[in-house]
Each structure stands twice: as structure tokens, then as C-alpha cells.
């Protein structure tokens, strides 16, 4: 996938109401490839921890016999962290508490499908 197409996918997800930013990180080294997170959010830390979280969830679900961790949604006191498995990449969105997480999830899954295609 070209850099322009990747940026367009991230921009589509970032357009969802309440989204503070989106990033795509490499699954193996957790380095952000494209990042639109707000300045006050440490993109490198979010990428590293989200990739780790997705990896732990993937292993836990595998051990439990439930297949792969396709999508994670974590609610915090001040918003949402959403993580989608995208093959060699991990797609991450940070959103306000008022964000429509169902629409964000659909947008992220469409972007994930385009990333792995």
C-alpha cells in the first residue's frame, strides 16, 4: 500500500466525531508509520503499548481457543482506546468519551480490511 493510500485510510478513521487521533504501527517493532494523534498524546508510547496490548490479547484468545483478537475496545475515565489487528500492522484510535464507538469500530474494520488486502 502506498503512503498516500495509507494516509487516506487513517484520515477516514480520524474523521469520526470524537476521535483525537489515529495511528498505524508496525506489529513487529511497534513504530508508528502514520500518526495523527494530538500533540499532547505521545504517539510512540501509544503505539508501543497498543501493539503490546494487542499481542497479549491475541495470545490469551489463542490459549482460550477463541481465535484471533480482531478488535479491542478499552474504555478509560477520559475516553476510548480502540485497536484493530491489521496483519503486519496495528491500527489504533484514541477517542473522547462521547465518541460513537460503534461507528468508529466500523470505520476501523473497513480500514483494517483495506490494509490487509
Confidence (pTM): 0.93
Q: Give dist(CA 98, CA 76) in Å, integer.
A: 12
3 state SS of 44: helix
Q: Give dist(CA 19, CA 40) in Å, integer.
A: 14
> Could you give the C-alpha distances from 31 to 15, 64, 88, 98, in angstroms and in order?
23, 29, 12, 28
Q: Yes or no: say if 85 and 67 are a contact pair by the CB < 8 Å rule.
A: no
Mean local confidence (pLDDT), 64-76: 92
Domains and CATH numbers, the chain: 3-116 (3.30.450.30)
Query: Tens of pLDDT along 26-63?
Result: 999 999 999 999 888 899 999 999 999 999 999 999 99
Model confidence at 1: pLDDT above 80: no
Q: Give dist(CA 35, CA 7) in Å, integer.
A: 9
Grade residue 96 by pLDDT with cuts at 50, 70 and 90. Answer: very high
Amino acid at each position: 500500500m502506498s503512503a498516500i493510500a495509507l494516509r487516506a485510510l487513517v484520515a477516514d478513521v480520524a474523521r469520526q466525531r470524537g476521535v483525537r487521533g489515529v495511528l498505524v504501527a508496525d506489529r513487529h517493532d511497534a513504530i508508528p508509520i502514520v500518526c495523527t494523534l494530538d500533540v499532547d498524546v505521545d504517539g510512540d508510547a501509544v503505539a508501543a503499548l497498543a501493539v503490546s496490548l494487542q499481542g497479549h490479547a491475541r495470545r490469551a484468545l489463542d490459549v482460550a481457543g477463541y481465535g484471533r483478537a480482531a478488535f479491542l475496545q478499552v474504555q478509560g475515565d477520559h475516553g476510548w482506546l480502540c485497536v484493530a489487528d491489521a496483519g503486519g500492522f496495528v491500527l489504533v484510535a484514541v477517542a473522547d468519551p462521547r465518541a460513537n464507538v460503534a461507528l468508529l469500530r466500523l470505520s476501523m474494520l473497513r480500514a483494517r480490511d483495506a490494509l490487509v488486502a
